[in-house]
Amino acid sequence: MTDLADLTVTGAAAGLRAGEFSSVDLLEAVHRRAAMTEANLHAYLSIDRDGAARAAVGADSAFKSNTDLGLLQGIPVALKDNMVTRGLETTCSSKILAGYLPPYDGTAVSRLREGGAVIFGKTNLDEFAMGSSTENSAYGPSRNPWDPERVPGGSSGGSAAAVAAGSALVGFGSDTGGSIRQPAALCGIVGMKPTYGLVSRYGLIAFASSLDQIGPLTRTVEDSVAALEVVGGYDPADSTSYPGDVPDYRAGLESGVAGLRVGVVSELNGEGIDPEVQAGVDQCIAGLEQAGASIVELSLPSIEYALSAYYLIAPAECSANLARFDGVRYGLRRRGETVEEMMSTTRADGFGPEVIRRILLGTYALSAGYYDAFYGQAQRVRTLIIQDFQAAYEQADVLVSPTSPTTAFQLGDRTQDPLSMYLSDVCTIPSNMSGDPAISVPIGLDGAGLPIGFQVMAPALGEPLMFRVAAEVERQAGFEARATHATSEVVT
Ligand code: GLN
């Protein structure tokens, strides 16, 4: 019999409803798996034993009284530690928030609780979600379940590692420039970033507010749909929340791709992409063509500048957002003779080097005399990117590319060279700049046995189409390999 920790959300939901096992059984299986893998992976910053046990018992008694709260009822969930959870330490992997116990739940979190989900723990991330490897965590890196010498990607690396290793059935992360999709690709799971505004950001600790989106990390496309159904939808507490009806994500899951136009973005394929990754992606594109899609080569010239513009816009917004961590309101406080000294010592001690780099960069880009040349210019580039996407979506229904230019890299490989780390996100950043949805689907392994991710992008609110193509990619790839290398033998 399969270990319950290896079930999909959809499979577990069916088993729970058929009375084959209880939520308490499921939780025990996940605890057992975490006990085997955590010493190596360090996916979690904290595990909420008591809260999870209460939630599992609650979910079981709801089932007994025939109350069905939806597909996540009774399912163990991992939350990135930048999602605010009432009474549960929320650190953003930063020393500046050590010990912070939020007085409220973010909207996504409260929707999960209302849906009967079992919040298992808070996962590791790059500090304030700035990074692509989880190595920028103040609490030590997470590791990749496929090879613990390698990074799980980031910044939602903890959630990705947990789902890949079976220490959660579903995880949530945030994606500002690729932080859900890239770790999903590197860990061999599905990761999706919804249309900007589809999931409330209320209670997501802000990095770059015009780019941040919460989304799910799952083992299958159908699970991604199930998770998005629970957390998505209008929220008056977030002024950027999309006020219309959410699309029917399931509508096309079984429809295949016959008749669809699939655009291959020339700027995101080929040059700069690892040949094995590109070969996997090309094979996948050929499969879509065989399944009846027409393939169109498309150029979006301005996305060549997406990365550069992102590294002005995201730091600019972060420099404003992180001003609130001043030693007065949250977490760490250092002593000082004056208020200013207290604040500057707190910030100097509390923030790690990457966060400090971003704050400096952003403050510079926004300062008088430079604002128009840097921030203003980056915003104009963003407009060009949006226009390029709009033009592309007149010729294609969805766009495709690799998710990450490489498979998982070794720990330490890119930490000395910020630019090489930043390049991890060249393929994912464009959809953040345009605000459109995108998903990464695992399609196979490279020669070293590491997972390759395939990205499907769609126009705003095009989730049904995106999921439809992703489901076909998943069916064709038949990627069922599970990360089984996360044994209890501790890697040092
Ligand atoms: N790696 C990118 C960065 O460091 C994206 C991070 C994210 O999406 N949160 O900014």
Taking the centre of ligand 1 as the mean of its atom positions, its distance from the CA of residue 400, in whole angstroms, is 20
Residue 337 falls within a domain, yes or no? no
- Residue 429 CA: which ligand 1 atom is closest? 5
Residue 451 inside a domain? The answer is no
* Any ligand 1 atom below 6 A from CB of 177: yes
Is residue 238 in a domain? yes
Mean of pLDDT values over 17-41 = 97
Residue 485 has pLDDT above 60, yes or no: no
DSSP states of 145-199 as a string? TTBTTB---SSSHHHHHHHHHTS-SEEEEEESSSTTHHHHHHHTSEEEEPPTTSB
| Side-chain-facing half-sphere of 167: CA atoms under 13 Å | 33
Mean pLDDT, the chain, integer: 96
Contacts of 448 (CB under 8 A, 6+ apart): 147, 407
Distance between Cα 464 and ligand 1 center (Å): 25
Q: Among 124, 176, 310, which residue has the most ligand 1 atoms within 8 Å of its CB, making it the best to mutate?
A: 176
- Write the CB contacts of 158 (distance below 8 Å, at least 6 apart in sequence): 42, 43, 44, 45, 78, 80, 81, 123, 124, 125, 134, 142, 152, 171
131 C-beta closer than 6 A to ligand 1? yes
Whether 429 shows a pLDDT value over 90: the answer reads yes
Report the separation in Å between the CA atom of 310 and the middle of ligand 1, taken as the mean of its atom positions.
9
CA-closest candidate to residue 443, choices 481, 409, 412? 481
Between 42 and 419, whose confidence is greater? 42
Which atom of ligand 1 is nearest the CA belonging to 314? 10
Which among 138, 214, 203 is positioned nearest to 176, based on CA atoms? 214
For ligand 1, what atom is nearest to the CA of residue 154?
A: 1
- In the reported structure, the alpha carbon of residue 178 is separated from the centroid of ligand 1 by a whole-number distance in angstroms of 6
Beta strands in 219-315 (DSSP E): 261-265, 294-298
Query: Ligand 1 within 6 A of 406 CB?
Result: no
**What mean pLDDT comes out for the span 14-36?**
98
- How far, in Å, from the CA of 425 to the mean position of ligand 1? 7
pLDDT tens per residue across span 222-280: 999 999 999 999 999 999 999 999 999 999 999 999 999 999 999 999 999 999 999 99
Ligand 1, residue 176: give the atom nearest the CA: 8
Question: Is residue 366 in some structural domain?
Answer: no
Expressed as residue numbers, the domain containing 55 is: 4-253+465-491
- Residues 215/194, Cβ–Cβ less than 8 Å: yes
| CA-closest residue to ligand 1 atom 5 | 177
Phi, psi at 332, each rounded to 5°:
-60, 140
Q: 119 and 55 in contact (C-beta within 8 Å)?
A: yes
Q: Centre a 10 Å sphere on the Cβ of residue 2 and count the other Cβ atoms it contains.
A: 9
Rounded to an integer, what distance in angstroms lies between the CA atom of residue 119 and that of residue 111?
12
**Measured from the CA of 424, which atom of ligand 1 is nearest?**
1
Give the residue carrying structure tokens 């430079």.
370
Answer yes or no: is pLDDT of 492 > 70.
no
- In a domain? residue 357: no
Ligand 1: which atom is nearest the Cα of residue 311?
10
Mark whether 179 is an active-site residue.
Answer: yes
Q: What is the pLDDT of residues 201-224, one digit of tens each?
A: 999 999 999 999 999 999 999 999
Cβ–Cβ < 8 Å for 148, 491:
yes
Residue 483 has pLDDT above 70, yes or no: no
Phi, psi of 439 (to 5 degrees): -135, 145
Mean pLDDT, to the nearest integer, of 394-399? 98
**Which residue in the block uniquely carries the two structure tokens 């033998």?**
489
**Average pLDDT value for residue range 141-147:** 97
Confidence of residue 437 (pLDDT cuts 50, 70, 90): very high
The verdict on whether 174 is a catalytic residue reads: no
444 Cβ below 6 A of ligand 1 = no
Whichever domain contains 475, its CATH number is 3.90.1300.10
Query: Among candidates 119, 121, 162, which has minimal Cα distance to 143?
Result: 162
Instruction: Select from 83, 94, 126 the residue to mutate for testing ligand 1; criterion: most ligand atoms less than 8 Å from CB.
Output: 126
Stated pTM of the model: 0.97
23, 94, 133, 155: the catalytic one is: 155
Q: Count of domains in the chain?
A: 1
User: DSSP letter string over 303-341?
Assistant: GGGHHHHHHHHHHHHHHHHGGG-SSSSSS-----SSHHH
Residue type, 237: A
Under a CB-based contact definition with an 8 Å cutoff, are residues 294 and 262 in contact? yes
Rounded Cα gap, residues 162 and 168, in angstroms: 6
pLDDT above 70: residue 1 = no
Q: Tell me the per-residue pLDDT of 289-314, one tens digit each, with 9 for 90 and over.
A: 999 999 999 999 999 999 999 999 99
Catalytic residue check, 420: no
Distance between Cα 330 and ligand 1 center (Å): 23
Give the Å distances, CA to CA, from 362 to 57, 308, 365, 371.
47, 13, 5, 10
pLDDT at 484: 56
Q: Does 301 map to a domain?
A: no
The pLDDT of residue 487 is above 90: no
61 CA distance to ligand 1 centroid (A)? 40
Whose C-alpha lies nearest to ligand 1, atom 10? Answer: 130
Encode pLDDT of 164-200 as tens digits.
999 999 999 999 999 999 999 999 999 999 999 999 9
Which one is catalytic: 22, 167, 174, 179? 179
107 occurs within a structural domain? yes
Beta carbons within 10 angstroms of residue 68's beta carbon = 12
Is beta strand 261-265 parallel, antiparallel or unpaired with respect to 294-298?
A: parallel
Q: 334-385 pLDDT, tens per residue?
A: 999 999 999 999 999 999 999 999 999 999 999 989 999 999 999 999 999 9
Residue 135 Cα to ligand 1 midpoint, Å, equals 12
How high is the pLDDT of residue 488? 46
Tokens of 490: 């501790």
- Of residues 360 and 486, more confidently modeled: 360
**Beta carbons of 350 and 94 less than 8 angstroms apart:** yes
Assigned domain for 90 exists? yes
The protein residue whose alpha carbon is closest to atom 4 in ligand 1 is 131
| The two structure tokens encoding residue 476 | 């064709």
Tell me the percentage of the chain whose pLDDT exceeds 70: 97
| Cα of 391 vs its chain's centroid, Å | 27
Q: Is 130 in the pocket of ligand 1 (CB under 6 A)?
A: yes
Structure tokens at 306: 């997406």
Q: Concatenated DSSP letters for 359-389?
A: HHHHHHHHSTTTTIIIIIHHHHHHHHHHHHH
Atom of ligand 1 nearest to the CA of 130: 4
CA of 180 to the centre of ligand 1 (A): 9
The mean per-residue pLDDT over the stretch 126-145 comes to 98
| Any atom of ligand 1 within 6 Å of the Cβ of 107 | no
